[in-house]
Amino acid sequence: MSDTWLIAGLGNPGDKYAYNWHNCGFLAVDMLAEKYGIRLERTQFHALFGKGKIGGHDVFLMKPKTFMNNSGEAVGPFSNYYKIDPSHVIIIYDDIDIAAGTIRVRSKGSAGTHNGMKSVIAHLNTQEFPRVRIGTGPVPETTDLISFVLSDIPKDLRQTMYDSFGEGCKAVEDIVNGKRD
């Protein structure tokens, strides 16, 4: 098995969505790219990506350009082409079922209610891949789900969320370096 990793942050492309709750995966990948000097400037398989190293391991950082609900259309073909086993595909994404600013790491599992993850699971044909979930919840009772996830992170929570992106990046580093299942 190759030691190469694919780290895909889920989100929606375009300035309109840049700082939405639903773009936490993109924002975390941007943080990783900055930290490791990986330029996300290549386009292939409906994704923006770059290649570099984390802890001596070859990694691809990816931001699918398919919009959230079709994220698997980028992740699946990309991982197949580069022969990256699903166990080396790390998905970073927002999760409304976790408190804002909290992260959870899992080595496998279902998509829950997350349509982007449903697409990734369908295109990888397995649930057996690591994921870093960045909490964005709870959704206010007065707001419908779609309006919430497509709204910008409020100013008073931006530092909290920025800190959680850092924790998510640390979790990715630990997974790649074999320090976490």
What DSSP designation does 154 have? P
CB atoms within 10 A of CB 99: 13
Question: 105 - beta bridge partners?
Answer: 132
Catalytic (active site) residue 123: no
Can you give the pLDDT at residue 181? 61
Please report, for the chain, the start and end positions of each structural domain, with discontinuous segments joined by +: 5-176
pLDDT tens sequence across 35-94: 999 999 999 999 999 999 999 999 999 999 999 999 999 999 999 999 999 999 999 999
The mean predicted confidence, pLDDT, of the chain is 96
Q: Given the residues 22, 88, 114, 123, select the one marked as catalytic.
A: 22
Decide the pairing of beta strands 131-137 and 103-106: antiparallel
Pair of tokens at residue 122? 């369908």
* Reduced DSSP (H G I as helix, E B as strand, rest coil) percent helix, strand, coil of the chain, to 5: 40, 25, 35
% of the chain beyond a pLDDT of 90: 96
Per CATH, the homologous superfamily of domain 5-176 is Peptidyl-tRNA hydrolase (3.40.50.1470)
Give pTM, 2 decimals. 0.97
95 strand-pairing partners? 135
